A and B are shown apart, each in its own frame.
Chain A
Amino acid sequence: MIEVRNLNKEFDGVQVLKGIDATFENGKTSLVIGTSGSGKTVFLKCLLGLIQPEKGDIIYDGQIYNEMSNNEKRDLKKDIGMVFQGSALFDSSTVEENVMFPLKMFTNQPYEEKLERVNFVLDRVNLQNANKKFPAELSGGMQKRVAIARAIVMNPKYLFCDEPNSGLDPKTSTVIDNLIQEITKEYNITTIINSHDMNSVMEIGEKIILLKHGVKEWEGTNDEVFKTDNESLVDFVYSSNLFKKVREAQLRQDNSGS
């Protein structure tokens, strides 16, 4: 479980995160949604300790991140998997080396075992026959999938994904979403996903947090999204015409039903 208390971050006098409180539970996929520039990436990076917030606490299973010793932080990080918005693959290493890297660094398994694990996770993200390729030789979507494979190869307790399916086609997108949800359940992971993909929201958003200009505007489950009166959320969700129609249809149904 990860708790966030009163998180504040500013860049050059501009408040990017304003007093955010949130709780993310084990075995649940939580989604942080919001328009571009609303602070999702900064929020995630604060949780990871990559950006130092001005104020606020990040609490990992009862332990306050800022009060941990360097060793404790390092141990915690072995349990963290992160998919960066831009994939952040090591570009001078092959796909296989990228995914194997955490295993090489932190385990003493024999090579065959590591390779088996690497192939297993690459298979789970639907990426076969790319082992010897370099990141520059892959499409953006394939790079994303390698990044996901690298993030889950160590069986993390906490999984963070910054827009894991931006740049993926709807089909692969769904595959990735389902995969993330599956492993979240299977290994009881605390998963936080940044997204502005409404499909993901509806498919796997067991908990949804809406950020707007760095403020937590709304919090709820995917079932509640369509019934909300929150203006910002309605604004965000129904910026797509398709969803606008879905909502109208649903409201009509609800009215005739009652």
Chain B
Amino acid sequence: MINYFKYIGKYFIMLKEVFKRPQKGSIFRESIFKEIEDLGINSIGIVAFISFFVGGVVVIQTALNLDNPITPKYLIGYASRESLILEFSPTLISIILAGKVGSYITSSIGTMRVTEQIDALEVMGINSLNYLVLPKIIANVFFYPFVIIISIWLGIFGGWVAGNLTGLVSSADYIMGIRSEFEPFHLVYSMIKTSVFAFVIATIPAYQGFYVKGGAIEVGKASTRAVVWTSIVIIVLNYFLTQMLLGK
């Protein structure tokens, strides 16, 4: 237990170092674009693929649960849209990104640690935490909302395709459903969650990688640990954010 407090303390001390002024603006901007490509753009493919298919599954399952003849069919579209916006896209996709991006961040920073590249940066007088981690945080926090919007769209589209293919809900009903009773705050809530998770996905794996000791095996172990902890923290934060933002 004491150990956990120690880790949490060390994590926040790390953040203090991370949030310093970058030493050179031009290099900082360059790194941000590189990270957007590595962490964001390179994740769009898998996110699109998963979102499309899960969107379809959500519609089929919702349709099966709303099979009472009195409930109007458009509710299927409405319910699917809501679950995609509220939960599926921000939370599930973040967990998937925790695996994909988290392990990438830990192993790349961890390898730099064990091959003394981080020492080399420090010897040059560079704040290595700031140099390595801040661009990742910024890339994540500002780019993931776009990724999640794409995910929501493709999920809804996948649902429409599945509804048509199975004949469970007609195109007209579905479209009516996804357009009815839209609550903008739900989208805001979704984006707030996404940004918080994006921060977690950048920082916990960075912490695991930065403080790794040993060699290749330890880097591997740290990656696993990073994914597990990032996922746990996302799930717990998801609960509290939901209670705070949606709970009455």
Cβ–Cβ contact A86 & B23, under 8 A: no
Residues of A within 8 A of B87 (CB): none
Asked whether A84 is an interface residue with its Cβ less than 8 Å from the other chain, the reply is yes
Q: How far is the CA of A73 from the CA of B112 in the complex (A)?
A: 22
Asked whether A231 is an interface residue with its Cβ less than 8 Å from the other chain, the reply is no
- B112 CB → nearest A CB, Å: 8
Q: How far is the CA of A104 from the CA of B30 in the complex (A)?
A: 12
Determine which of A49, A50, A105 lies in contact with B23 in the assembled complex, contact meaning CB atoms within 8 Å: A105
Determine which of B27, B119, B123 lies in contact with A105 in the assembled complex, contact meaning CB atoms within 8 Å: B27
Determine which of B24, B108, B111, B117 lies in contact with A104 in the assembled complex, contact meaning CB atoms within 8 Å: B24
- A99 CB → nearest B CB, Å: 12
Q: How far is the CA of A101 from the CA of B123 in the complex (A)?
A: 13
Cβ–Cβ contact A89 & B117, under 8 A: yes
Interface SS, B side: helix
Asked whether B125 is an interface residue with its Cβ less than 8 Å from the other chain, the reply is yes
Determine which of B116, B117, B125 lies in contact with A75 in the assembled complex, contact meaning CB atoms within 8 Å: B125
Cβ–Cβ contact B117 & A105, under 8 A: no
The total of chain A residues at the interface (CB under 8 A) is: 24
Residues of B within 8 A of A89 (CB): 117, 120
Residues of B within 8 A of A183 (CB): none
Within 8 A of A (CB), among B87-131: 108, 111-112, 115-117, 119-120, 122-126
Determine which of A49, A92, A105 lies in contact with B124 in the assembled complex, contact meaning CB atoms within 8 Å: A105
Given A104-B27, A105-B23, A105-B27, CB of A88 within 8 Å of CB of B116: yes
A 72-90 to B, binary, CB cutoff 8 A, 1 in contact else 0: 0111111010101010111
- B89 CB → nearest A CB, Å: 31
- Give residues in A with beta carbon < 8 Å to B: 45, 48-50, 73-78, 80, 82, 84, 86, 88-92, 101-102, 104-106
Instruction: Beyond A84-B119, A105-B24, list 19 extra A-B contacts (CB 8 Å).
Output: A50-B119, A50-B123, A74-B125, A76-B125, A78-B124, A78-B125, A86-B116, A88-B115, A88-B116, A88-B119, A88-B120, A89-B117, A91-B111, A91-B115, A91-B117, A104-B26, A104-B27, A105-B124, A105-B126
| Shortest 4 CB-CB contacts between residues of A and residues of B | A77-B125, A88-B116, A88-B120, A74-B125
24 sampled A-B residue pairs with Cβ under 8 A: A50-B123, A73-B125, A78-B125, A80-B125, A84-B116, A84-B119, A84-B120, A86-B116, A88-B117, A88-B119, A88-B120, A89-B117, A89-B120, A90-B117, A91-B115, A104-B24, A104-B26, A104-B27, A105-B23, A105-B24, A105-B27, A105-B124, A105-B126, A106-B24
